[in-house]
Chain A
């Protein structure tokens, strides 16, 4: 259900895995990619650090909470770590549910919580040097609306 990996993943393959259950009437997926701009600066690369062990635990708690809130058949979360470049895929969330509303909501919920609760940190390379990415208030606000 959860994968933390340096390698890329195939959204097409992940999608096919979500199709497995015949009781699912809706599949929603989200793929996050590295942008080439942030805060007005050109981003040449991104390094993703994480807290081994806690990351898996935090993601599992997020998935458990999503499954308690909505009736979901399958949830898949993949997050890449290490060095990445603009255009690279970073994160995948896929949800299969009986109905679309649950699938849309759960996918968004998992991403909002992942962004504020899972111990990942981005360090980006810009023409001015490397810098740690600061948290965004909008991400916290997005997570808070599920409380």
Chain B
């Protein structure tokens, strides 16, 4: 099982805060998970395909494609604007 979370404008755009996907329900590669989520609709496609989209795996940002493991928390969010 993995958790997929969305923050800020992405959460609002997708009207989705969190997804829980069981084994077999998600593609094991991050890039494949993104394609899978992109197929859920136009807004999803925009979020998943945008070059601005940031990804964190287990609360650490990554720019690489990785293999997802059960228990992972994957988060998608727009560029940060704190400070």
A residues apposed to B, CB below 8 Å:
32, 48-51, 53-54, 57-58, 79, 90-91, 111, 114-123, 132-135, 139
Contact = CB atoms under 8 A, between A and B. Distances in A.
Contact of A132 (B60, B61, B78): B78
A54 B60 CA distance: 7
A84 to B, nearest CB: 12
Contact of B82 (A50, A53, A57, A134): A50
Given A51-B59, A51-B75, A54-B75, A119 B9 contact: no
Contacts, number: 72
Contacts of B26: none
Interface of B: 5, 7-9, 52, 56, 59-61, 75, 77-83
Q: Is the interface of A mostly helix, strand, loop or mixed?
A: mixed
Nearest to B77: A119
Nearest to A110: B83
28 contacts: A32-B83, A48-B82, A49-B8, A50-B82, A51-B56, A51-B59, A51-B75, A57-B59, A79-B82, A90-B83, A114-B82, A115-B81, A116-B80, A118-B83, A119-B56, A119-B77, A120-B80, A120-B81, A121-B7, A121-B8, A121-B78, A122-B81, A122-B82, A123-B8, A132-B78, A135-B52, A135-B79, A135-B80
B9 A121 contact: yes
A45 B75 CA distance: 27
A101 B81 CA distance: 27
Contacts of B78: 121, 132, 135
Contacts of A58: 59, 61
